[in-house]
């Protein structure tokens, strides 16, 4: 709920102009909240006198400044993206809880449609051995039922290789952390996963999106129960950990298919 401290409000109209839902308006020289809104916080962020408060949220998280003070140099950001690789080799060491907390914060601050903030974050590290086996069981059943024969043969080869040598895990690649995101509107989870992945990369971690794991969890009631996501819609699965490989250069990409109008 949005609260306006009338004694601080100067009636400048900044909040009204930036309110997409037209819920806050200036009347008789003071801003008023006329109904329930999306609680996006734009009115709080734009107010020059700190007259707006969001009830039910931690105001200690709010800091003052300018967008320019938080900017990353465009050339640096582009090089960061160019050097990013999907990691399929991980060191056998856990990820510190402090770094996982930072990744969570990046996800929590990701914009969501209609500001729903509806993403359920599940981090698996301590219980990875047990949950990994449940997911592998779902993967095996999924592989046996796969319609395309060529693809089914490849997936069953994954299972055969791991059965012969448990270290040959082509599904989890030795990653110590699995992040599962669920939400009613999958695009919110997809956007959030991308933000969290970039934070992980900035912390020196590697990451890998896994559609195989996502589908295998959907095929395993035991895994869904263990992850506390029964009845929820999986939006993305990310493997995280310290890379056991060091890349020395970026790689080229195809030219963009773009239309300028």
Asked, for residue 67, whether it belongs to a domain, the answer is no
Asked, for residue 185, whether it belongs to a domain, the answer is yes
* Structural domain for 109, as ranges: 74-241
Do residues 10 and 40 share a domain?
yes
pLDDT in tens, 26-70: 999 999 999 889 999 999 999 999 999 999 999 899 999 988 998
Asked, for residue 253, whether it belongs to a domain, the answer is no
Domain boundary residue, one of 34, 61, 88: 61
Do residues 99 and 22 share a domain?
no
Asked, for residue 116, whether it belongs to a domain, the answer is yes
Asked, for residue 260, whether it belongs to a domain, the answer is no
Asked, for residue 180, whether it belongs to a domain, the answer is yes
CATH number at residue 164: 3.40.109.10
Do residues 52 and 148 share a domain?
no
Do residues 35 and 99 share a domain?
no
Do residues 100 and 211 share a domain?
yes
Do residues 214 and 142 share a domain?
yes
Please tell me the predicted confidence (pLDDT) of residue 186. Answer: 86
CATH number at residue 57: 3.30.70.20
Residue 1 has pLDDT above 90, yes or no: no
Do residues 101 and 136 share a domain?
yes
Residue 151 has pLDDT above 90, yes or no: no
Per the confidence metrics, is the pTM higher than 0.85? yes
Asked, for residue 259, whether it belongs to a domain, the answer is no
Q: How many domains would you assign to the chain?
A: 2
pLDDT in tens, 181-226: 999 988 999 999 999 999 999 999 999 999 999 999 999 999 999 9
Do residues 44 and 100 share a domain?
no
Q: Quick one: what percent of the chain has pLDDT higher than 70?
A: 100
Map the chain to HEC letters. Answer: CEEECCCCCCCCCHHHHCCCCCCEEEECCEEEECCCCCCCCHHHHHCCCCCEEECCCCHHHCCCCCHHHHCCCHHHHHHHHHHCCECCCECCCCCCHHHHHHHHHHHHCCCCHHHCCCCEEEEECCCHHHHHHHHHHHHHHHHHHCCCHHHHHHHHHHHHHHHHCCCCCCCCCCCCEEEEEECCCHHHHHHHHHHHHHHHHHCCCEEEECHHHHHHHHCCHHHHHHCCCCCCCEEEEEEEECECCCCCCCCCCCCCCCCCC
Asked, for residue 218, whether it belongs to a domain, the answer is yes
Do residues 142 and 186 share a domain?
yes
């Amino acid at each position: 709920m949005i609260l306006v401290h009338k004694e601080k409000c100067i009636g400048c109209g900044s909040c009204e102009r930036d309110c997409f839902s037209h819920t806050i308006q200036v009347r008789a020289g003071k801003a008023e909240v006329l109904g329930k809104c999306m609680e996006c916080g734009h009115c709080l962020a734009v107010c020059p006198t700190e007259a707006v408060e969001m009830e039910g949220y931690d105001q200690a998280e709010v800091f003052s400044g300018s967008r320019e003070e938080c900017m990353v140099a465009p050339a640096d950001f582009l090089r960061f993206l160019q050097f990013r690789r999907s990691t399929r080799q991980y060191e056998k060491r856990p990820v510190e809880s402090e770094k996982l907390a930072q990744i969570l914060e990046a996800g929590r601050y990701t914009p969501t449609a209609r500001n729903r903030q509806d993403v359920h974050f599940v981090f698996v590290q301590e219980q990875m051995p047990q949950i990994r086996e449940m997911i592998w069981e779902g993967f095996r059943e999924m592989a046996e039922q796969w319609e395309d024969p060529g693809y089914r043969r490849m997936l069953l080869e994954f299972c055969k290789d791991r059965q012969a040598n448990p270290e040959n895990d082509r599904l989890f690649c030795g990653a110590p952390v699995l992040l599962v995101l669920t939400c009613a509107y999958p695009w919110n989870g997809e956007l959030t996963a991308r933000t969290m992945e970039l934070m992980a990369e900035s912390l020196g971690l590697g990451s890998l999106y896994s559609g195989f794991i996502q589908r295998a969890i959907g095929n395993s009631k035991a895994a869904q129960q263990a992850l506390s996501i029964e009845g929820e819609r999986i939006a993305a699965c990310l493997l995280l950990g310290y890379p056991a490989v060091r890349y020395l250069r970026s790689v080229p990409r195809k030219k963009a298919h773009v239309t300028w109008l």
